[in-house]
């Protein structure tokens, strides 16, 4: 118990009764962080920034939006034309969704490359997958709100996925819609859920951070921190690195908002929803395309839905699918190759999801889907039996400082 | 920093302070310019401002009659005053008034008086537009919420309201048509 940690008497008085300042000092200032983190470790804080941006702009947009089939489309157009700075706020929200997914996908692939999901960080990973699921639900329902053609038909197609469930499917879909088609009741409940789910995400993010701070960040070498010589305090070293990364991120984000605001959208969504006419080619938002490709690759309605959700379900059990005790791909020469194949496979699935479901695209979708599940269900459990991993360094300091640190690390090892 | 701080070190310290202050200043300007659109979106939108004027045809308004029109979501009172009402509004002494204004200052065309029908006390709509309404002690308007009495020129004469009923900006487009706003 350090008594004079804070000089300001007001801070001291509050902290004695409500130790929020001690908490922040401990978790944001002194928090020991591995000293070898690279720029891929910026994406967690970037995701947090994106979440806050989405919530702030979303609250502001909801002040000007009308959740009714007759007014929704016009109210969004009013935001674009008449509301002060409405175009800017909506473009930030619209592109913010895409950038949130870009950041989170990089964050996930970083975890896959460096084995961040392995013990003791299994729950940290699972909470992250849960956040991804919540984000997908939120993004899907948000896309329905402008009530354009893509909104309406996207909502129709996605809710109809549940009709694949045997026996109760039709009743579930009617329940989701609150009627016999996507209509005003559907729009109202989607608005309500789109508003509340981000706050659920905030809750899960807090749990994600609690789990993270239990064992601290993983690192590019993937071995445990051996002592204070392997860490540096979070502030100022990583606060400044996160801020620098944020400014680079914001440069790209601002470029999209100001110069290519509709690049990641679909022009058909600027046509008001018409329940009588389906657009010739329906595509979901880009961040759903890989999953959409898996859905279409399976020539069976229920099977397609199961495989699509299965693609996320495998992520939940990944910590137990991967039998290798070595975390970082730097020391797994074979897995490292397959990691890049998985990344290309996901990009290929994304491309195929945007293409019409015919000819060569169907065949390629099936191959890519097969590889995705092969990678998770067969490669992860079996590869460790074949793969010869490279020798791990004794400590995080060793590759940087060389011999001396190695000797001291060996000494501590022998003590054990 | 050593105790024997040379002049060069002091100079560098000044440089560092300058960098820190200018960084914070830039961050502050950046935060403010991001916050402004989020705040300003709550101000009236362009379409709301576009609806901010109303035209009223007064040709069918008989002497002694009044109509209430909507302007910016608020009631606007228009009354065609009788000669007796005009006379009393013009001749009354301003000495005892809380908010002294002459009738000429408030009414460009003495026949028609145009007022924002919102009590200046706490925003209720005063009575006095309909023939059966209570018009208060001074024959103009009476606010039932907290008992403010207004005269034929819409001036506060008795009760808690601090100022006279507001006169909106308006002009006569022709003899009998006014444009409010």
On whether the CB atoms of residues A45 and A217 are closer than 8 A, the answer is no
Hey, what are A152's tokens?
């309406």
Parallel, antiparallel or unpaired: strands B112-116 and B141-143:
unpaired
Residue A32 lies in a domain: yes
- Those residues whose C-beta lies under 8 Å from the C-beta of residue A272, and which sit 6 or more positions away, are A73, A147, A148, A149
Q: Judge contact between A336 and A343, C-beta under 8 A.
A: no
Q: Which of A78-92, B84-98, B137-151 has the lowest mean pLDDT?
A: B84-98
* pLDDT band for position A295 (cuts 50, 70, 90): very high
Best interface-test mutation with A: which of B20, B45, B48 has the largest number of A CBs within 10 A? Answer: B45
Whether A241 is a known active-site residue: answer: yes
Q: Is the pLDDT of residue B2 over 50?
A: no
CATH of the domain at A374: 1.20.810.10
**Closest residue in B to A79 (Cα–Cα):** B45
- Asked whether residue A416 carries a pLDDT value surpassing 50, the answer given is no
Residue A221 domain-assigned? yes
Task: Give the B window 34-93 contacts with A, CB below 8 Å.
Answer: 36-38, 40-43, 45-48
Q: Give yes or no: A387 in active site.
A: no
* C-alpha to C-alpha distance for A82 and A387, rounded to whole angstroms: 62
Examine the pLDDT at A403 and tell me if it is beyond 80. Answer: no
Burial A63-86 (b: 16+ CB within 10 A, else e): ebbbbebeebbebbebbbebbbbb
Q: State residue B49's pLDDT score.
A: 84
Does the distance separating the beta carbons of B47 and A82 come in below 8 Å? yes
Per-residue model confidence (pLDDT) at position B1: 43
Q: Is A54 on the interface with B (CB under 8 A)?
A: no
Residue A296 lies inside a defined structural domain of this protein = yes
HSE-up of B61 (CA within 13 Å, CB side)? 25
Residue A392 carries which DSSP code? P
**Closest Cα partner for A294 from A235, A231, A348?**
A348
Q: What is the predicted pLDDT for the residue at A405?
A: 46
Coil, helix or strand at residue A167: coil
Residue A146: Cβ-neighbour burial (10 angstroms; 0-12, 13-18, 19+): buried
Tell me, yes or no, whether A269 lies in a domain.
yes
| pLDDT score, position A398 | 78
- In three-state form (DSSP H/G/I as H, E/B as E, the rest C), the secondary structure along B12-55 is HHHHHHHHHHHHHHHHHHHHHHHHHHHHHCCCCCHHHHHCCCEE
Q: Calculate mean pLDDT across residues A331-342.
A: 96
* Token pair for A397: 């300091």
Q: What is each CA distance from A45 to A30, A133, A238, A240, in whole angstroms?
A: 17, 19, 10, 12
Is the CB of A86 inside 8 Å of chain B's CB atoms? Answer: yes
Q: Indicate the pLDDT class of residue A70, thresholds 50, 70 and 90.
A: very high
Within 10 A of A247 (CB to CB), how many other CB atoms are there?
9
Other beta carbons less than 10 A from residue A274's beta carbon: 12
Looking at chain A, the number of H-run helices and the number of E-run strands are 18, 2
Give, in order, the Cα–Cα distances in Å from A88 to each of A80, A83, A85, A96, A256: 8, 10, 5, 11, 11
Q: Active-site residues of B: which are they?
A: 146
- Residue-number span of the structural domain to which A132 is assigned: 20-415
Catalytic annotation, pick one of A241, A266, A345, A397: A241
Tell me what percent of the residues of chain A surpass a pLDDT of 70: 95
Note whether A16 and A198 are within 8 A (CB): no
**Which range among A29-33, A190-194, A219-223, B132-136 shows the weakest confidence by mean pLDDT?**
B132-136
What is the spatial distance between Cα A265 and Cα A95, in angstroms, rounded to a whole number? 9
Q: Which stretches of A115-233 are DSSP H helices?
A: 122-144, 149-160, 169-177, 184-215
Confidence of residue B94 (pLDDT cuts 50, 70, 90): confident
* Cβ-based neighbour number of residue B29 at 10 Å: 10
In this structure, what token pair is assigned to residue A139?
Answer: 């993004």
- Write down the mean pLDDT value for chain A: 93
d(CA A98, CA A257) in angstroms, rounded, equals 11
- Tell me if A78 and B42 make a contact (CB, 8 A cut-off): no
Is A171 within 8 Å of A351 (Cβ atoms)?
no
- A247 within some domain: yes
Domain assignment present for residue A141? The answer is yes
With an 8 Å Cβ cutoff, are A64 and B45 in contact?
A: yes
Q: Give chain A's domain count.
A: 1
pLDDT tens for A90-145 read: 999 999 999 999 999 999 999 999 999 999 999 999 999 999 999 999 999 999 99
Count of CB pairs separated by less than 8 Å, A with B: 36
**Whether B38 and A81 lie within 8 Å, measured CB to CB:** no
Q: Is residue A53 part of a domain?
A: yes
Give pLDDT, residue A1. 45
B7 band by pLDDT with thresholds 50, 70 and 90: low
User: CA A205 to CA A329: how far, in whole Å?
Assistant: 26
* Amino acid A162: pLDDT: 92
CB contact under 8 A, A57 and B46: no
The pLDDT-based confidence of A401 (bands split at 50, 70, 90) is: low
Instruction: Give the minimum alpha-carbon distance from A72 to chain B in angstroms, rounded to a whole number.
Output: 16
**pLDDT 10s digits, A162-219:** 999 999 999 999 999 999 999 999 999 999 999 999 999 999 999 999 999 999 999 9
Q: Which two tokens stand for residue A105?
A: 């996908």
**8 A C-beta contact, residue B169 and residue B176:** no
Q: CA of A87, closest CA in chain B: separation in Å?
A: 10
In a domain, A5, yes or no: no
**What number of CA atoms fall less than 13 Å from residue A380's CA on the CB side?**
23
């Amino acid at each position: 118990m350090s008594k004079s940690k804070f000089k300001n008497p007001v801070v001291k008085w509050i902290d004695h009764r409500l130790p929020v300042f001690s908490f922040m000092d401990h978790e944001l200032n002194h928090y020991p962080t591995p000293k070898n983190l690279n720029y891929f470790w910026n994406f967690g804080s970037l995701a947090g920034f994106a979440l806050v941006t989405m919530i702030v702009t979303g609250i502001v947009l909801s002040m000007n939006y009308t959740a009714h089939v007759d007014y929704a489309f016009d109210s969004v157009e009013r935001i674009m034309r008449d509301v002060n700075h409405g175009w800017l706020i909506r473009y930030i929200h619209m592109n913010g969704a895409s950038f949130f997914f870009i950041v989170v996908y990089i964050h996930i692939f970083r975890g896959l490359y460096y084995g961040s999901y392995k013990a003791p960080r299994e729950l940290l990973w699972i909470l992250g997958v849960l956040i991804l699921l919540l984000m997908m639900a939120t993004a899907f329902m948000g896309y329905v709100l402008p009530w354009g053609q893509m909104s309406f038909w996207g909502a129709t197609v996605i809710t109809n996925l549940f009709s694949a469930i045997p026996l109760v499917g039709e009743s579930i879909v009617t329940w989701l819609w609150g009627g016999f088609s996507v209509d005003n009741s559907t729009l109202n409940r989607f608005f309500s859920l789109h508003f509340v789910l981000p706050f659920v995400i905030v809750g899960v993010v807090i749990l994600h951070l609690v789990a993270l701070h239990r064992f601290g960040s993983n690192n590019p070498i993937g071995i445990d921190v051996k002592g204070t010589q392997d860490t540096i305090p979070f502030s100022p070293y990583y606060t400044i690195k996160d801020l620098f990364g944020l400014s680079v991120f914001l440069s790209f984000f601002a470029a999209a908002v100001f110069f290519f605001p509709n690049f990641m959208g679909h022009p058909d969504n600027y046509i008001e929803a018409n329940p009588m006419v389906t657009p010739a080619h329906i595509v979901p938002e880009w961040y759903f395309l890989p999953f959409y490709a898996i859905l279409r690759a399976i020539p069976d309605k229920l099977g397609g839905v199961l495989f699509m959700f299965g693609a996320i379900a495998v992520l939940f059990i990944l910590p137990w699918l991967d039998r290798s005790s070595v975390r970082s791909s730097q020391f797994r020469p074979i897995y490292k190759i397959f990691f890049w194949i998985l990344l290309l496979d996901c990009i290929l699935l994304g491309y195929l999801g945007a293409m019409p479901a015919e000819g060569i695209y169907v065949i390629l979708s099936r191959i890519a889907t097969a590889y995705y599940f092969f990678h998770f269900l067969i490669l992860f459990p079996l590869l460790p039996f074949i793969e010869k991993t490279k020798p791990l360094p004794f400590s995080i300091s060793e590759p940087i400082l060389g011999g001396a640190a190695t000797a001291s690390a060996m000494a501590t090892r022998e003590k054990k | 920093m050593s105790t024997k701080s040379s002049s060069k070190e002091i100079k560098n310290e000044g440089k560092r302070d300058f960098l820190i202050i200018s960084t914070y200043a830039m961050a502050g300007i950046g935060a403010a310019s991001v916050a402004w659109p989020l705040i300003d979106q709550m101000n009236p939108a362009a379409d709301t401002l576009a609806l901010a004027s109303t035209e009223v045809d007064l040709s069918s308004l008989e002497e002694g009659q009044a109509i209430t029109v909507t302007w910016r979501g608020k009631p606007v009172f228009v009354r065609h005053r009788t000669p007796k009402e005009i006379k009393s509004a013009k001749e009354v002494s301003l000495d005892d008034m809380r908010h002294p204004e002459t009738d000429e200052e408030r009414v460009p065309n003495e026949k028609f008086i145009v007022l924002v029908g919102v009590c200046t006390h706490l925003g209720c709509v005063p009575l006095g537009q309909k023939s059966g309404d209570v018009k208060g002690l001074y024959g103009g308007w009476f606010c039932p919420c907290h008992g403010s009495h207004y005269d034929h020129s819409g001036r506060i004469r008795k009760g808690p309201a601090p100022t006279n009923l507001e006169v909106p900006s308006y002009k006569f487009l022709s003899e009998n048509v006014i444009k409010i706003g």
